[in-house]
Amino acid sequence: MIRKDKYNKILILGSGALQIGQAGEFDYSGSQAIKALKEDGIKTILINPNIATIQTSEQLADEVYFLPLSINYVEKVIEKEKPDGILLGFGGQTALNVGVELYNSGILQKHNIKVLGTSVETIQNTEDRKLFAEKVTEVGLQMAQSFSVHSVDEAVQAAEKIGFPIMLRIAYALGGLGSGIVENKQDLIEKANRAFSFTNQILIEESLFGWKEVEYEIVRDKFDNAIAVCSMENFDPMGIHTGDSIVISPVQTLSATENFKLRSIGIKLIRHLGIIGECNIQYALSPNSEDYRIIEVNARLSRSSALASKATGYPLAFVATKLSIGYALNEIENSVTKQTSAAFEPALDYVVLKFPRWDLQKFNQVSTTLGSEMKSVGEVMAIGRSFEEVLQKAIRMLDIGKNGFVCNNSENTEDIRNQIKVANPNRIFQIATALEQNLSIDEINKLTKIDKWFLYKLKRIVDLKKKFQSSKLEEIDFDNFYHLKKAGFSDKQIGLLSNSDEFSVRARRKSLGICPVVKQIDTLAAEYPAKTNYLYLTYHGTENDINFGDKNQIIVLGSGAYRIGSSVEFDWCCVNAAQTLDKHNYKSVMINYNPETVSTDHDTFHKLYFDELSLERILDIYEKENPIGVIVSVGGQIPNNLAIKLSKNGVKILGTSPEQIDNAESRDKFSEILDNLEIDQPQWEELTDYESARIFCKNVGFPVLIRPSYVLSGAAMSVILSESELNIYLKNASEISKEHPVVISKFITDAREIEVDAVAQDGEVVVYAISEHVENAGVHSGDATIVFPPQRTYLETMRKVKLITKKIANKLQISGPFNMQFLAKDNEVKVIECNLRASRSFPFISKVLKLNFIEIATRMILGEKKPAFHHNSFDLDYVGVKAPQFSFTRLKGSDPILGVEMASTGEVACIGDDFNEAFLKSMLAVGYKIPQKAIFLSTGRTEEKAQIIEELRKIQKNGIKLFGTEATALFYQRNGIDVEILYRPFDKKSPNVMDYLEEKIFDLVINIPKNTDEDELDSDYLIRRKTVDFNIPLITNIQIARRFFKAILSDKGTENQIRSWNEY
Amino acid sequence: MNEKLKLVLEDGTEYVGYSFGFFARTEGEIVFNTGMIGYPETLTDPSYFGQILVETYPLIGNYGVPNKSEKDGILQFFESDKIQIRALIVNDYSFEFSHWSAEKSLSDWLIEEKIPAIYGIDTRALTRKLRDKGTMLAKIVLENEKADFSNIIDPNKQNLVEQVSISSEIEYAKGKSRIILVDHGVKFNILREFLNRDISILRVPYNFDFNSIKADGIVISSGPGDPMQCKETIEHTKKAILENKPILGICLGHQILGLAAGCDTYKLKYGHRSHNQPVNEMGTKRTLITTQNHGFAIKRETLSEDWREWFTNDNDSTNEGIVHISKPFFGTQFHPEANPGPDDTSYIFDMFIRTLK
């Protein structure tokens, strides 16, 4: 490779924990950046506390720092490593913000570090709305008009200048009044009057309601060559965040003139802004003319750019990195064709559709309306050769229990017009219902503003469903059967239509000779031959692009969409498993469909099937490829759940046998196994009526943990404290019946939770790692703060845990990775659950222990002779702490508390010499700040209040002011701590906590929920909600509060403890 | 589902699909285009005359067919007055359309202009075949018919230009400067590029001896087929070169300019037909994305010493432009007027206009 501009060492900022709006896509782009730099012989330094990422793997960056992404830490790393360049565009908004701060504070200049690619000045011109508007108008381009006004008169003037209807925007939703369209003067006066009673500034903007939303990914080199790599069109019209929109690529409803006009405008603006590397530009396009408005430019890699890379096969992050170190576009090879250069615009001969996944049902009281703030936690991408095909594929990929666009359980069908009017996560299914009810396309278009082209396509699917509903399977002829498959109907859907099962449909289909074909993604629509391994399946074809049956292939099933409970950690597991396969002379075949991952980066594997993780599709691929077998234990719950079904259909499952997976998954079978092995477990029972539930609870005593199988409203798994709560829960929130049993188990209070991650072969444990939770049992393990190696668990307990682990490994004849969770109290150990697959904490313990558990697991699955490992966690001279990241601020209305349902969207882990150091760093890495001014306390039950007396005393001595609710303040006052009383929200008296929150008096709020009387619950909720709305750090768990105070008090400046992963 | 039609290639390969255009048999040279958008423009591009067109982008018809409004005496949304292709082959036809400018569906338009069209064909498989075996002749027949290739006429052996050119001159008055546009099947956007820059045009038939007319410059247009067929224009161009008049050749016109300058041309295996062809401006780091539609090219080795290679293709290094070292003679193999396609190279018109006397 030619060395371009002379750089020896480059610092890359990662994006930290996954959160809403910033997910695994930055692991993908960062990993690509590191690869691109390494290829040029440049040393790479990475700061990213997200330990579960691929980019923080040992084989990538030269030095990795698991540290908070804040300027004090970054500066220390700079002082130590002395890099000569820094990349800011590969770690999302987090990295960009830190970069701007580093620049503004003069740190970059002081250390003589060059910002590679787009300059900070340009970044600021794109980030600041006013500067951006100036830049856009300088080159004569159009933006939506916007006026910030301070009085009703000004508002009217502005509105008249723009012309009604206008968009009225208010910074915070106040008193039920949000932003919205205003149709006329009178309406405006009324709304503005109300708004000004809360705030002194509102925005009057041109309304783009109902306009199309279109995006382009544009790449530019320092020689001023610019290309538009990918165009994308939002299915949902303007007004819904693109992260919450269904997106299709390339654009579908634009004419060539419109498309190339927007391309030219984009390139013109990007040249004017001076972007070097990659950026994304968003437009609103009128549905009635060629009129357009520029919405924004993101001068960095983004979710859209990751999607565009996967959609086109064009490696945007890799190319952007090369451009930022001085390459010209045509000096970079097209990694897909190997014949052509990166200076081209991909031509697609397929379409892709991205569908977001929301997990709003996990949150209490959250608003489900979609708007300008993103709420989804992940996304899927489907590839196919018709709109119908990709839409139905994508819906199934979401893994939300839907069979496709149609053939689902009946939704609420009442008042469908009002349902579809407001964008919400279920709107697509509501539109299906509307079409079934024969609402016209015109009417649906009027209500939703979704372009008619999309609606016509949706109607075709519904029409097909209606046509073949209750037809006999054998009566569907070849042409019609093929037609259904081309429209994306799964065998299961056809089964539902023809009253037969998936397998009969499959058999009938194969007897007709209807099979999907495998096509390659080659960036040039077959114009040039490509040896690419980037594949998808479609029914729109008669010929496979590749030959099958390579020897030694093993399929690895991926983890699907990011969601609460399954994110980048399983991607790490999948990639590591596949890489181990390749290292041991097998050929890895990955199946996954999440565009935000490294596991869908085709150059990581022998073959990548970007397709559904469904029984039907895996069988299609298996039958074509005829591999040695399938690994189901590294991709989380989706592959785990498929194991039995695949095995029953003749698929060879590698590792632990599917029957044993079932033994561990089935509550009854597993419980029996535990009983037989004389291993203790919390008492539980599956119950089918209220009376028996009540009796069970009475016998074991409250509290109990209750898990319904059918949920009526928000509540799912819950801790129940009393009989009256049980009554309310089973009558209102869930159902109890023979069809919908509930599982109730004894909830053990003040118990500690312990986890084991391990690998076994033929029932014998090969390696294991025990870790402990900081929080007491009751917090979901995905939301818990985890310490490894354990610091407070008795040796006796650890020994018991180890023995039980061995017994179970033996009993279930485990071969491969597994994870167990235990409750420990007074040296008594009870088993909560056992998963015969890799867990969320595998990357964490692997990286802290410096022993790759997935690599070992894969080798064990392959049957390698059991090796001897001498890694012992007792030998570690340091501690790792993994902390959860929450996204409550984004989820308007949601109650930010922790419970038995998981709520975190990501995690970080930091390493330190002792617990306090590691814990404090990880707390800072998920956004906590060391309080400097004031803390607000509302610390729960007396036992809980008492737990932090000593710490508060010392904290106060450090000059931090303490405030509290009346009960809390009085308690601490009695204990000699000066805590000022603030009234609660409903007291309507001042000084009131709500005012203090709004004035940002506190830099920490501790609110421990008490779970007792309603009034207090509501009051607590309001405090918590306001805290996260104003972005003030919030702690809701007393153990965390105590450890946090201790860590602060013992802190001697953790930012001085700068050590790379290699140095531990 | 519609009636079936069968596409048969010269080598015997058959593809059966459903008719969505005029239900009839036809024949021609089969080529593929990888542009993802712009079928109204592409279908009316006279360079496709005599060809069966395969669209590699799978969803066609989405935004219907625009209206026939005119500006400056030419249709606004099309590249000529009628559909030029012999037949259209797509994967998935969109029966419903949605666009503010749409007046009818693609299917209605094809039927109106009696052009057969088939959907439901594995266009990727077909494209791979054409890429590997090269451009072929093909026939469209009824589902159960045999295709007889013994009597097929190879359009490249015909004077296609004669069939797409105009029969008598047309004047477009706009500004003081005037160019002569030699029409070999000109795309309307070439006219628009000049008219929008206030240049008057005298559009003349392909065999018109333009040297007899006073003009500030000569543009030799794009068009279908083998440039060697355009003997008369080559002769006329040779004369024009001697007179030092500014000349711009586009696509076929570029090849004619090359032939007039003493170069040879040859047939490419499967040609360039797309909107994403990267070309490099020689001696610079400049890459431009261009629209292309041609099956022949200039042999660069045969350029005489007074000429330079101006552009080359970044993908396969074929010639993409020539320029004279001292005189205002320019030729581009790509279409600077784009439409459909990126407008990266529209500056070539500005360049040319600066040389007009």
Give per-residue pLDDT as tens, A85-115. 999 999 999 999 999 999 999 999 999 999 9
Residue keyed to tokens 């449909």: A505
Nearest to A519 among B40, B96, B124 (CB): B124
Spatial contact of A536 and A383, defined as CB atoms under 8 Å apart: yes
Closest CA to A38 of A72, A14, A58, A9: A9
User: pLDDT tens-digit profile of A1015-1063?
Assistant: 666 888 899 999 998 899 999 999 999 999 999 999 888 777 789 999 9
List chain A residues with CB under 8 Å of B61: none
List chain B residues with CB under 8 Å of A529: 131-132
| Window B:90-119, CB contacts with A under 8 Å | 91-92, 94-101
Mean pLDDT, range A416-438, rounded to an integer: 96
Alpha carbon distances (Å) from B231 to A12, A295, A386, A925: 62, 53, 46, 75
Topology of domain A683-746, CATH: Dna Ligase; domain 1 (3.30.1490)
| Window B:31-60, CB contacts with A under 8 Å | 32, 34-38, 40-41, 56-59
Active-site residue, from B27, B193, B251, B320: B251
DSSP string covering B149-205: -TT---GGGS-HHHHHS-SS-EEE--SS-EEEEEESS--HHHHHHHHTTT-EEEEEE
User: pLDDT tens-digit profile of A272-282?
Assistant: 999 999 999 99
Spatial contact of A302 and A25, defined as CB atoms under 8 Å apart: yes
Tell me chain A's radius of gyration from C-alpha atoms.
29
User: pLDDT tens-digit profile of A792-837?
Assistant: 999 999 999 999 999 999 999 999 999 999 999 998 999 999 999 9
Closest CA to A939 of A962, A981, A968, A979: A968
Topology of domain A906-1056, CATH: Rossmann fold (3.40.50)
Q: Where in chain A is the domain with CATH 3.40.50.1380?
A: 906-1056
Judged by average pLDDT, the poorest of A420-429, A732-741, A1047-1056, B310-319 is A732-741
Cβ-Cβ contacts under 8 Å for A445 (sequence gap 6 or more): A451, A452, A455
Contact criterion met (CB < 8 Å) for A260 and B341: yes
List chain A residues with CB under 8 Å of B36: 250, 347-348
Between strands B70-71 and B74-75, the pairing is: antiparallel
Q: Is B251 a catalytic residue?
A: yes
Return the pLDDT at A710.
Answer: 58
User: pLDDT tens-digit profile of B116-171?
Assistant: 999 999 999 999 999 999 989 999 999 999 999 998 998 888 899 999 999 999 99
* HSE toward the beta carbon, residue B140, CA cutoff 13 A: 29
Return the pLDDT at A721.
Answer: 86
For residue B102, give the chain A residue with the closest CA.
Answer: A255
Residue ranges in chain B modelled with pLDDT below 50? none
Nearest to B122 among A452, A456, A542 (CB): A542
For residue B278, give the chain A residue with the closest CA.
Answer: A344
Mean pLDDT, range A217-245, rounded to an integer: 95
Contact criterion met (CB < 8 Å) for B314 and A259: no
Under CATH, which architecture does the A146-206 domain have? 2-Layer Sandwich (3.30)
| Window B:176-235, CB contacts with A under 8 Å | none
- Which CATH number among 1.10.1030.10, 1.10.10.60, 3.20.20.100, 3.40.50.1360 corresponds to the domain A385-511? 1.10.1030.10
Mean pLDDT, range A669-693, rounded to an integer: 93
List chain A residues with CB under 8 Å of B127: 349, 525-527
List chain A residues with CB under 8 Å of B100: 287-289
Residue keyed to tokens 């929200």: A985
Assign domain A521-654 to a CATH class: alpha beta
Contact criterion met (CB < 8 Å) for A542 and B275: no
Q: Where in chain A is the domain with CATH 3.30.1490.20?
A: 146-206, 683-746
Q: Is B263 a catalytic residue?
A: no
Cα(A626)–Cα(A318) distance, rounded to whole angstroms? 33
Return the pLDDT at A363.
Answer: 85
A543, amino acid identity: E
List chain B residues with CB under 8 Å of A348: 36, 57
User: pLDDT tens-digit profile of A324-348?
Assistant: 999 999 999 887 777 788 999 999 9
Q: Is B3 a catalytic residue?
A: no
Nearest to B34 among A253, A483, A525 (CB): A525
Domains B4-151 and B160-354 share a fold: no
| Window B:58-77, CB contacts with A under 8 Å | 58-59, 62-63, 66, 77
Is residue B212 packed enough to be buried (19+ CB in 10 Å), middle (13-18) or exposed (0-12)?
A: exposed
For helices A658-665 and A637-648, angle between their N-to-C axes, nearest 10 degrees? 130
- Say which DSSP state A654 is in: E
Decide if pLDDT at A1013 tops 70. Answer: no
Band of the pLDDT at A173, cuts 50, 70, 90?
A: very low
Q: How many CB atoms lie within 10 A of CB A206?
A: 20
Nearest to A543 among B41, B122, B280 (CB): B122
- Which CATH number among 3.90.950.10, 3.20.20.10, 3.30.470.20, 3.40.367.20 corresponds to the domain A752-876? 3.30.470.20
Return the pLDDT at A1014.
Answer: 59
Contact criterion met (CB < 8 Å) for A453 and B36: no
List chain B residues with CB under 8 Å of A339: 315
Size of interface A-B (CB pairs under 8 A): 177
User: pLDDT tens-digit profile of A440-484?
Assistant: 999 999 999 999 999 999 999 999 999 999 999 999 999 999 999
Residue keyed to tokens 């790792």: A880
Helix H or strand E encompassing A883: strand A879-885
Domain A127-140+209-299+302-346 sits in CATH 3.30.470.20: yes
Q: Where in chain A is the domain with CATH 3.40.50.20?
A: 9-118, 521-654
- Which CATH number among 3.40.1360.10, 3.40.50.2000, 3.50.30.20, 3.60.110.10 corresponds to the domain B4-151? 3.50.30.20
pTM for this entry:
0.95
Q: How far is A593 from chain B (nearest CA, A)?
A: 21
Alpha carbon distances (Å) from A733 to A400, A707, A725, A866, A1022: 20, 11, 11, 50, 22
User: Quick one: CA dihedral B93, B94, B95, B99, positive or negative?
Assistant: negative
Contact criterion met (CB < 8 Å) for B124 and A255: no
Mean pLDDT, range A65-76, rounded to an integer: 96
Topology of domain B160-354, CATH: Rossmann fold (3.40.50)
Sketch the domain layout of chain B as residue ranges.
Answer: 4-151, 160-354
Is residue B72 packed enough to be buried (19+ CB in 10 Å), middle (13-18) or exposed (0-12)?
A: middle
For residue B123, give the chain A residue with the closest CA.
Answer: A541
Cα(A904)–Cα(A377) distance, rounded to whole angstroms? 10
Cα(A954)–Cα(A952) distance, rounded to whole angstroms? 5
For residue B132, give the chain A residue with the closest CA.
Answer: A529
Closest CA to A742 of A731, A751, A750: A731
Cα(A313)–Cα(A532) distance, rounded to whole angstroms? 10
ipTM over 0.90: yes
Q: What is the CATH number that goes with domain A9-118?
A: 3.40.50.20
Nearest to A260 among B101, B314, B338 (CB): B338
Decide if pLDDT at A395 tops 70. Answer: yes
